[in-house]
A and B are shown apart, each in its own frame.
Chain A
């Protein structure tokens, strides 16, 4: 396990300069020795990291390294899998996310999620965005909420004249931005994104990446991505996970190798394995 590096004294990017207090900013998540088992098999082991407010935090690593599993711990989506078991300490704004009095439904109101494949509901564009506020009983000035969310997801201008059309008529990239709009309509504090661009073309991907950079003003974002350029473009901090095997190679699980400023992970990683991965030698 690599110690977290002190941030460099000289900021190398404008946004880093602006966020020069990144190290002191409030921690959204604190993971201390978090592991996930599916039945008897460990999926990830012993992850310790802090995720900070208004950062885009990227989780990268080869297939099967447990990035998505780890992400799904953060809003208790793993609860939906009966065999999944999360252990270790996972604090959200200092509160134990897996504490006895915590209701996963309440957790998911605060920590939204955008999935790999756009999954709009088979309803109108308006009803998709209004769904969250409606189930939470926030139906006052719903039109305003919907417009704000669609504007927030940079989709308003494209759909404002056809809000009652079925969401399935949108393109893949628009559907994914609709899913982001749907997510921010419930005004979460954090948005988790599980490879949100893997099903999209480069132009749609670019739009969503721009959107992430805008959204982090207001939200904290954790993104799982297979695309290292994407991590380098959008994220402030990057965690690199890797698959580990036991001695007889029967079991495999994910481990956190290195977690640091994105800049550092991609230019001067502390761990040899990180360097091999980000330079394309392995993975």
Chain B
């Protein structure tokens, strides 16, 4: 009897193995094909995006390479003499614009994010309205911000005139929603157990935010700020409306009424000129901007990966 039952067990085992083997190997050919087609379509979508970037880079480098030299950074623009024209005032203008954007956007953006995440009661309808509208603001075209800057900052209530600070404030308003949204996400990522742990030790709400929530969310906030600033750096349209003039042949200062320039505006103007030399110059400017922007974005990504807290 013992040998009989073990024989049965062996047969049953063999049968089960055969069934499993059959069911494991039997994916229909049609499924295999569909999978392959779908995967290649997705790959194609990626390729379109990458190809556009590659075309831009290659075109800019091929065209702009001859003009790449230190003179590009030190020479002032010229309408007559493309060989000696450069970007110096535009680069200095962009740097000052960006400094102004950061000065404005960091405190205001983080402050708004802290209020919305830590203080606002999201069950109140007005707080939800604020939330939705911040999302909407992030989608408003930049030219609209240019008009806003012209009406409210250059003229109107603030009446600052066509000065560099007006440009800074306009760009700051443009990227403020991005900073608020990124900062809110970073703040929200701090688990509530950390807040509770801090409050349970007798820390006040503000102490908890300042010593626990903010330090833990700084990497996320910094990433958002860098991405926002790189967006501001590349904007030309709103600056044209608030007084970025093209042929500034002197170093711009924040409050001077003499005019200021910025990299994207200068590139745009060089491209409009018919002479080939200016085209080359513009392409060289594109290279400079691309390198700066890619470096900033890479730094933001590195920062996020390196310092973001995993809970």
Q: Is the CB of A131 within 8 A of B201?
A: yes
Given contacts A122-B216, A131-B211, contact A182 B201 (CB under 8 A): yes
Q: Is the CB of A77 within 8 A of B198?
A: no
Query: How distant is B55 from chain A, measured CB to nearest CB, in Å?
Result: 43
Q: Which residues of A contact B215 (CB under 8 A)?
A: 122
Q: Is the CB of A121 within 8 A of B199?
A: no
Is A113 part of the binding interface, using a Cβ–Cβ cutoff of 8 Å?
yes
Query: How distant is B135 from chain A, measured CB to nearest CB, in Å?
Result: 24
Query: How distant is A41 from chain B, measured CB to nearest CB, in Å?
Result: 16
Q: Is the CB of A135 within 8 A of B200?
A: no
Q: Is the CB of A115 within 8 A of B203?
A: no
Is A247 part of the binding interface, using a Cβ–Cβ cutoff of 8 Å?
no
Number of A-B residue pairs at CB separation under 8 A:
66
Is A252 part of the binding interface, using a Cβ–Cβ cutoff of 8 Å?
no
Q: Is the CB of B196 within 8 A of A77?
A: yes
How many of B's residues come within 8 Å of A, CB to CB? 20
Interface 9-residue window, one of A14-22, A50-58, A103-111? A103-111
Q: Which residues of A contact B157 (CB under 8 A)?
A: none
Please report the C-alpha to C-alpha distance between residue A75 and residue B201 in the assembled complex, in whole angstroms. Answer: 10
Q: Which residues of A contact B204 (CB under 8 A)?
A: 105, 135
Q: Which residues of B contact A77 (CB under 8 A)?
A: 196, 199-200
Q: Which residues of B contact A132 (CB under 8 A)?
A: 201-203
Q: Is the CB of A108 within 8 A of B196?
A: no
Q: Which residues of A contact B78 (CB under 8 A)?
A: none
Instruction: Identify the interface centre among B121, B199, B202, B204: most chain A CB within 10 Å of its CB.
Output: B202
Q: Residues 70-84 of chain A: 1 if any B CB is under 8 Å from the residue's CB, otherwise 0?
A: 000001010010100
Is A183 part of the binding interface, using a Cβ–Cβ cutoff of 8 Å?
yes
Please report the C-alpha to C-alpha distance between residue A174 and residue B196 in the assembled complex, in whole angstroms. Answer: 19
Q: Residues 59-90 of chain A: 1 if any B CB is under 8 Å from the residue's CB, otherwise 0?
A: 00000000000000001010010100000000
Please report the C-alpha to C-alpha distance between residue A122 and residue B193 in the assembled complex, in whole angstroms. Answer: 12
Query: How distant is B121 from chain A, measured CB to nearest CB, in Å?
Result: 6
Q: Is the CB of A113 within 8 A of B200?
A: yes
Q: Which residues of A contact B197 (CB under 8 A)?
A: 115, 119-121, 179, 182
Is A117 part of the binding interface, using a Cβ–Cβ cutoff of 8 Å?
yes
Please report the C-alpha to C-alpha distance between residue A204 and residue B28 in the assembled complex, in whole angstroms. Answer: 52
Q: Residues 115-141 of chain B: 1 if any A CB is under 8 Å from the residue's CB, otherwise 0?
A: 000000101000000000000000000
Interface of B is mostly: helix
Given contacts A82-B121, A131-B211, A135-B211, contact A121 B309 (CB under 8 A): no
Query: How distant is B199 from chain A, measured CB to nearest CB, in Å?
Result: 6
Query: How distant is A134 from chain B, measured CB to nearest CB, in Å?
Result: 8
Is B75 part of the binding interface, using a Cβ–Cβ cutoff of 8 Å?
no
Is B207 part of the binding interface, using a Cβ–Cβ cutoff of 8 Å?
yes
Chain B residues 168-220 with CB under 8 Å of chain A are 191, 193-194, 196-204, 207, 211-212, 215-216
Q: Is the CB of B201 within 8 A of A115?
A: no
Q: Which residues of A contact B212 (CB under 8 A)?
A: 121
Chain B residues 254-311 with CB under 8 Å of chain A are 309
Q: Is the CB of B207 within 8 A of A135?
A: yes
Is A153 part of the binding interface, using a Cβ–Cβ cutoff of 8 Å?
no
Query: How distant is A61 from chain B, measured CB to nearest CB, in Å?
Result: 22
Please report the C-alpha to C-alpha distance between residue A117 and residue B192 in the assembled complex, in whole angstroms. Answer: 12
Is A173 part of the binding interface, using a Cβ–Cβ cutoff of 8 Å?
no
Q: Is the CB of A131 within 8 A of B200?
A: no
Q: Is the CB of B196 within 8 A of A135?
A: no
Give the interface of A toward B (CB within 8 A). Answer: 75, 77, 80, 82, 105-106, 108-110, 112-113, 115, 117, 119-122, 131-132, 134-136, 179, 182-183, 186
Give the 9 A-B residue pairs with the shortest CB-CB distance, closest first: A109-B202, A113-B200, A119-B193, A132-B201, A135-B203, A119-B197, A108-B202, A135-B207, A122-B309
Given A105-B202, A134-B211, 12 more A-B residue pairs with CB atoms under 8 Å apart are A75-B200, A77-B199, A82-B123, A105-B204, A112-B200, A113-B196, A115-B196, A122-B216, A132-B202, A135-B202, A135-B203, A186-B202
